[in-house]
Amino acid sequence: MDNEINANIPDDEMEFSADIITLTDEDGEEHIFELVDTLEKDGESYVALIAVAEDYEEAIYEDADLFIMKVIEEEGEEILEIVEDDDEFDSISEIFIDRLSDIYEFGEGDEE
């Protein structure tokens, strides 16, 4: 599933607000995520996202899933794609979970 990053947060709000991005799936449906971490490894870029409620002000993260995606450049645009390789996914998800475990509580199978 390729998804475009569409983050339109004014600079004056960046300092105090979460990094919220809207991803559009291949069916044209929009999904709202909070960007919780980024990572560069072996020349590749990855992001960790948590799905949020459509009304961000009322979002509850208790049972939110962690989504890990790879950033690729396609025709001059940054696109997010699912990490297809199981070994790559396991390696990257382990790093993100380790880095984020002080903030979030993860159960088995929380990462997508």
The CA distance from 98 to 67, in Å, is: 15
- Would the pTM of this model clear 0.85, i.e. be above it? no
Report residue 19 as tokens.
């990094």
Looking at residue 14, its pLDDT comes to 47
Looking at residue 24, its pLDDT comes to 85
Q: How many CA atoms, within 13 angstroms, populate the side-chain half-sphere of residue 44?
A: 17
The CA distance from 16 to 107, in Å, is: 29
Looking at residue 111, its pLDDT comes to 47
Looking at residue 15, its pLDDT comes to 53
For residue 110, give the 3-state DSSP assignment.
Answer: coil
Report residue 104 as tokens.
């979030």
Picking from 69, 63, 96, the residue whose alpha carbon sits closest to that of residue 82 is 69
Q: Which stretches in the chain have pLDDT values below 50? A: 1-9, 13-14, 60, 110-112
Strands (E), the chain: 2-6, 20-24, 30-41, 44-51, 66-74, 77-82
